[in-house]
Structure 1
Amino acid sequence: MSPKVDAFLVQLNKWQAELSLLRSLLLEMELDEDLKWGSPCYSFENSNLVILQGFKEYFAILFFKGVLLKDSEKVFTKPGENTQSSRQIRFRNIDDILSKESLIKAYIKEAIEVEKSGEKVALKKIEDYAVPKEFQEAMMEDEALKSAFAKLSPGRQRMYLIHFAEAKQESTRLARIEKNKGRILMGKGLGDCICGLSQKMPTCDGSHKHMR
Structure 2
Amino acid sequence: MNGANPKADWYFEKEEQWKDEIAELRKIVLDCGLTEELKWGCPCYTHGQGNIVLIHVFKTYCALLFFKGALLQDGKQILIQQTANVQSARQARFTSVREVTGKAAVLKKYIYEAIAVEEAGLKVALKKTEDYPVPEEFQQALQEHAGLKTAFEALTPGRQKAYLFYFAQAKQAKTRMARIEKYLPLILAGKGLND
Give the TM-score of the pair, scaled to structure 1: 0.81
Deviates more, 1:177-186 or 1:91-100: 177-186
1:12-27 superposed matches below 5 A: 12-27=15-30
Q: 1:45 aligns with which of 45, 48, 61?
A: 48
Offset at 1:183? Answer: 4.7
Matches within 5 A, 1:87-126: 87-126=90-129
CA shift digits 1:49-70 (9 cap, x unpaired):
1111211111111111111111
Aligned residue number for residue 63 of structure 2 = 60
- Superposition RMSD on alpha carbons, in Å? 2.0
Segments of structure 1 that go 5 or more residues without pairing to the other structure are 195-212
Count matched residues: 192
5 Å-filtered alignment, 1:119-198, equals 119-143=122-146, 145-185=148-188, 187-190=190-193, 192=194
Rounded to whole Å, the distance in 1 between the matches of 2:130 and 2:66 is 26
Q: Which has the larger radius of gyration?
A: 2
Structure 1 residues 107, 159: CA separation in 2 closer, same or farther (over 3 Å shift)?
same
> Percent same amino acid at aligned positions?
48
Counterpart residue identity of residue 67, structure 1 = A
Alignment check: 8 A CA contact 2:56 2:62 kept: yes
Q: Contact between 2:82 and 2:90, CA under 8 Å: does it hold in 1?
A: yes
Distance 1:184 1:8, change over 3 A: farther
- Which residue type is aligned with residue 160 of structure 2? Q
The residue aligned with 1:83 is 86
Q: 1:187 to 1:15 in 2, by over 3 A?
A: farther
The amino acid that maps onto 1:154 is: P
On the 8 A contact 2:24/2:101 being kept in 1, the answer is: no
Query: Which whole-Å CA distance do the structure 1 matches of 2:28 and 2:69 have between them?
Result: 18
